[in-house]
Structure 1
Amino acid sequence: MRIPFSAMLGLGLTALMVLAAIFSPLIAPYGLNETVGKVWENPSAQFWLGTDTIGRDIFSRLVYGGAVTIFVALASSALAFSMGAFFGFLAAVRGGWIDTGLSRLVDVMMAVPSLIVALVVLSVLPLTLTTLVLVMGVLDSTRVFRLSRAVAADIAVMDYVEAAKLRGEGQVWIIFREILPNAMSPLVAEFGMRFIFAVLFISTLSFLGLGIQPPLADWGGMVRENKDGLIYGKSAAMVPAIAIAVLAIAVNLVADWVLSRTTSLKGGRNG
């Protein structure tokens, strides 16, 4: 199987950023909140990306902030897919009032923009990593529910699913042994998209002051802390913004390849 250059580039960049997040204590030359220089110093041999608004090393904070950003985005995406896929498959298999009730509940949740709901909820709850993961996961599960239900509805009418029902297999067996394996490809592609939306979402919340709280750091919070430097021509706020953009492009390249490969395989089987 030949992997295109764009997918290889996306895989390489994504792997590089994930490894940097995992080994952040070994890579970062300074501590997360250690003041090591003057305010907004330019990049140099000592400070590769310069310093921030109170003299902390931007490269070190970028590495540590990447670990927090990626962890929260991955955890919330995993929660969203666990909830959304399970209830989506359940609605497609059971049908009837369960399908109708779950679908209408999701419609109600999606009627209000996720950012507004998150801002309201987070303004009254303690701003911990657990709270952020739960809020983001539940809100994003509505999108996963719709995709999972649509995919499962097409699979549920296949001959092998009908054969499993005739054998007397239970609904849990049908969901996890018949539907889930055949729905993995579109779900994997969608996971990449949901992960990027989670990165952008947590960065937006942090920029607005309701995301990751000090002493921890994340990329959105770094943009917020250093935005005033743009007035003086300092690029401290641009570095984490570029990191968000690079991660988004890299994961999207991989997701596009997975989706295109899934489409081509379906076309080949249909042909």
Structure 2
Amino acid sequence: MTEEANDATQEIGLEAAGARPLFQLSLMGKVGVGILVFWILVALIGPFLAPYDPADIASDDSFGTLSATHWLGTDYIGRDILSRVMHGARLTMSLSFMATVLAFLVGISLGFTAALAGSKVDMVISRIYDAFLSMPTIMLGLVVIAALGSSIPVLVITAGLIYSCGLYRIARALAIDIKVMDFVEAARARGEKLPWIISREILPNAVIPLVAEFGLRLVFSILFITGLSFLGLGVQPPTADWGIMVRENIEGLWQGSSAVLAPAGAIATLTIGINLIVDDFSAQRGQEIAEEMI
């Protein structure tokens, strides 16, 4: 009896040892996670730790150099760069995250609906999205914001709707592949409604391919929102935003380079960190799919 128990224990141990986690980070993936966690912490607690109010003129020196009182120097009117970068992290990341969530809600819902509702609905939704995709992203954003005015809600909604276009196509393609599977056909035979089939059958089987897309759309949203702010059509001064900081201080690049390089570096490191995670996740998923096909 004891020997049988030991054998069973050994078998279970071997099975557990052979099991692989769903997602195991590589070195570059860990670097990406470290960068992302750093900026999330800055966004959450940075405004409470900032040495100055981001709108206050903290020094008489414009484009002041790095010092003990101003670790990243000052901008063109003497505001503390470190404080503005900290406050800008919360605004930039929160707006980008909200826009990405909106893009997912709209794009995935319409993509699944188009794939399952029938050819007429599919054709109407697809033609509308084709019209949006025919215009460059920044140009479309400029047109919408110029027509509706520059405000944070308009900025978030514009970015969300624009980046829902790509998600619509991906969600539609996934749903078309999944809807012919037996468990979806069985749900239809039972008389289940379309919302139930989407939430219980389609979405759970499409989650993993969509995870990487969330990271990519988040990067696109960050670049879109900061880009429009740089052009003067996004977040408006004196609000601390990374795009605004680059635009306001670009003329002093050689005089006070930290005023430009700090927010530009923040944008670059955040997007690189997210991309490292997405690349690592996609590479591992591709390897798993290749192994399953062998």
Normalised to the residue count of structure 1, the TM-score between the two structures is: 0.96
Select 2:50's aligned residue among 28, 40, 46. 28
The answer on 1:247 being equivalent to 2:270 is yes
Distance 2:171 2:283 in 1: 18
Match of 1:191 in 2: 214
**Deviation digits for residues 191-249 of structure 1 (CA, Å, limit 9, x no counterpart):** 10000011100111011100101231211110001100124363311111111110011
CA RMSD of aligned residues (A): 1.4
Match of 1:68 in 2: 91
Q: How far apart are residue 95 of structure 1 and its match? A: 2.8
Q: How far apart are residue 135 of structure 1 and its match? A: 1.0
Contact kept in structure 2, 1:185 and 1:259, CA below 8 Å: no
The answer on 1:108 being equivalent to 2:123 is no
Q: How far apart are residue 109 of structure 1 and its match? A: 0.9
Contact kept in structure 2, 1:229 and 1:235, CA below 8 Å: no
The answer on 1:161 being equivalent to 2:200 is no
Contact kept in structure 2, 1:185 and 1:258, CA below 8 Å: no
Q: What residue identity is the alignment partner of 1:23?
A: I
Q: How far apart are residue 154 of structure 1 and its match? A: 1.0
Contact kept in structure 1, 2:63 and 2:256, CA below 8 Å: no
Identity rate, percent: 44
The answer on 1:12 being equivalent to 2:34 is yes
Q: How many residue pairs end up in the alignment?
A: 271
**Deviation digits for residues 121-159 of structure 1 (CA, Å, limit 9, x no counterpart):** 212323221111111111111111011111111111112
Q: What residue identity is the alignment partner of 2:167?
A: V
SS in 1 for 2:207: helix
Matches within 5 A, 1:206-217: 206-217=229-240
Q: What residue identity is the alignment partner of 2:260?
A: A
Distance 2:182 2:288 in 1: 19
Q: What residue identity is the alignment partner of 2:208?
A: S
Match of 1:136 in 2: 159
Runs of 4+ in 1 over 2 A off after TM superposition: 231-235, 260-271
The answer on 1:203 being equivalent to 2:231 is no
Contact kept in structure 1, 2:145 and 2:233, CA below 8 Å: yes
Matches within 5 A, 1:161-180: 161-180=184-203
Distance change (3 Å), C-alpha of 1:39 and 1:233: closer
Distance 2:118 2:217 in 1: 26
Larger Rg: 2
Contact kept in structure 2, 1:77 and 1:198, CA below 8 Å: yes
Unaligned runs of 5+ in 1: none
The answer on 1:51 being equivalent to 2:91 is no
Match of 1:79 in 2: 102
Q: How far apart are residue 45 of structure 1 and its match? A: 1.5
Distance change (3 Å), C-alpha of 1:115 and 1:245: same
Q: What residue identity is the alignment partner of 1:53?
A: Y
Unaligned runs of 5+ in 2: 1-20
Contact kept in structure 1, 2:92 and 2:225, CA below 8 Å: yes
Distance change (3 Å), C-alpha of 1:124 and 1:100: closer
Matches within 5 A, 1:228-243: 228-232=251-255, 234-243=257-266
Normalised to the residue count of structure 2, the TM-score between the two structures is: 0.88
Distance 2:129 2:115 in 1: 14
